[in-house]
A and B are shown apart, each in its own frame.
Chain A
Amino acid sequence: MRQEIPLLITAIVGIGFVIQYFIPHWPFSRMSDWFSDWFSIVGACAIILGALNLMKVSIEKTYKRKEDWGYAAVIIASFLLMTIIGIAEGRGFRNPGTSFDWLYNFVYIPLSATMFAILAFFVASASYRAFRARNFEATLLLIAAFFVMIGRVPVGHTLSSFMPIGWQLSDLASWVMTVPQAAGQRAIMIGIGLGIVSTSLRIILGLERAHIGGGK
C-alpha cells in the first residue's frame, strides 16, 4: 500500500494536469492556478524541514566541537539573527529602512554579488586550461566563441572597420548568433521538449518511481 498510493496519486494528478490543457471548463480551468498556490504553500512548509536540518547539522557540529565548529556557530547565529529580525519586522519586513533591509543590502547583496562575480575568474582560467582545439568540433566551438566575444565589444569594431559593412566582426557575430547558433539551439530545444514529454510520461505511467520511494 505504501507504494501503490503514491504511484496512484502521481498517475491521477499527472493525467489530470495533461487533460486540463484541453478543457477550459471549471474546475480544470483553475487547476494550474491552484497548483501554483499549493506549491508555494508546500514550499513554505517544507523550508521548515530544511531549516531544521541546517540547524541540526550545525548544532551537532558545534556541540561536539567537530572540526571548524566555530563556523557552524556563525551559521546558527546569522540564521537566527536574520529569521528573528525578519519575523519581528512584520509584513513590511522588506521596506526600506528596516533592519532586515539593512542586512539584506549590506550583507546579503555583497556576498551574493561577489560569489557571482567570481565566475569571471573561473571563465578565464577555464579558457586558458580547457578550451583546446583538439578536434574539429572543439575548433568550431572556439571559433564561434571568438567571433561572438570579439564582435560584441567595440574593439571588434575597430579591428574590422576596414571591412565592408555587413562583413565586419560585429555583423559576423550577429550572423553566428542568429543563424547557426539559432539552428543548434532549436535542435536542442526540440530534443529537450521530447525528453521532458518522455520523462513525464514515464513518471505518470509509474515506470520511474524511485523518488517517491517505490523502487523495484
Chain B
Amino acid sequence: MEHFALWLSAFLTLGILSFLYKDNPWYKLSEAIFVGISAGFWVVTLFWDNLVGKFWDGWQDEPMLFVGAALGFLMLLRLVPKIGWISRWPLAFIVGATSGLWLMNYLASNIMVQVMATIQPLFSTGYASGFDAGWGAIISSLVIVVGTFTGLVYFFFSKEHKGAFGGAARVGIFFIMITFGASFGYTVMSRMSLLIGRMDFLLGDWLGMIG
C-alpha cells in the first residue's frame, strides 16, 4: 500500500506538471480527479464541521443558530424554480452584513491605523523616543511620509493628473511600483520554495535520491 501511495502521488504530481508541456490526457485526468476529490473534500468538511459541528451540536445552547439554518434553507429554495427568487433574501442579508461589518473593520484597521503609523517624527533631539537622529533615519522617515502622501494623490479620482498635482501623482506611482517590485521579488522567493518542496518529494520521498 505504501508503494502504491507513493506512485499514485508521483503519478498525479507529474500529471499536473505535464501541463507545462501542453494540455494532454494525463493532465486532463489529473485535473478531473482533482476537481472531484476536492469538491468532495469540501462537501464533507462543511457537512461535518458546519452543519453537524456548528448547527446540530450547538442549537440547544444558541437558539440564534436557527436564523442561520433558516437562511440556509431559503438558499436551498433555489432548487424549486417557482419560488427560487426567495433565495435573494439570504443573499441580500449576507451582502448587507458583509458590507456593514467590513465598512467598520477597514475604516478602523486599514485607514486609522495606517494613518497613525505614518505620523512619526522626522527627526528628534530627545532621547525619550529612542529615535536615532542620523541622516539615514531622517531620509527614511521622510521617504515614508512622501511615499504615503503621493501614493494617495495617485488614487485621487476627482482631479486630472496635471501640473503639480500630476507630478505628485507620478511620484506616487513610483512608490507603488517599488512596492510591486518588492512584492514580486518576495513572491519569486515563495514560489521557488514551493517547487523546492515538490522536488524534495519527487527526488527524496519518492525516488530516495536525496536526503
Contact = CB atoms under 8 A, between A and B. Distances in A.
B20 A118 contact: yes
Contact of A212 (B39, B91, B149): B91
B17 interface: yes
Interface residues of A, number: 125
A63 interface: no
Main SS at interface, chain B = helix
A95 to B, nearest CB: 12
B97 A45 contact: no
Interface string A101-132: 01111111111111111111101000100010
Q: Which of B88, B145, B201 has the most CB of A within 10 A?
A: B88
B107 A10 contact: no
A159 interface: no
A211 B148 CA distance: 34
Interface residues of B, number: 120
B44 A189 contact: no
Given A5-B89, A6-B92, A48 B147 contact: no
B133 interface: no
A204 B194 contact: no
Interface in A161-195: 166, 173, 175-194
Given A37-B62, A86-B40, A44 B51 contact: yes
Contact of B92 (A9, A103, A109): A9
B72 A187 contact: no
A82 B36 CA distance: 8
B182 A75 contact: no
A87 B52 CA distance: 11
Given A179-B140, A194-B111, A80 B176 contact: no
Interface of A: 2, 5-7, 9-18, 20-21, 30, 32, 34-35, 37-52, 54, 68, 71-72, 74-83, 86-87, 91, 93, 100, 102-121, 123, 127, 131, 136-138, 140-149, 152-153, 166, 173, 175-194, 196-197, 199-201, 203-204, 211-213
8 contacts: A18-B100, A38-B65, A44-B54, A82-B37, A83-B40, A152-B185, A180-B179, A197-B107
Report, nearest first, the 10 A-B pairs whose CB atoms are least far apart. Answer: A187-B151, A183-B147, A82-B40, A17-B100, A144-B181, A86-B44, A78-B36, A148-B185, A184-B179, A45-B72
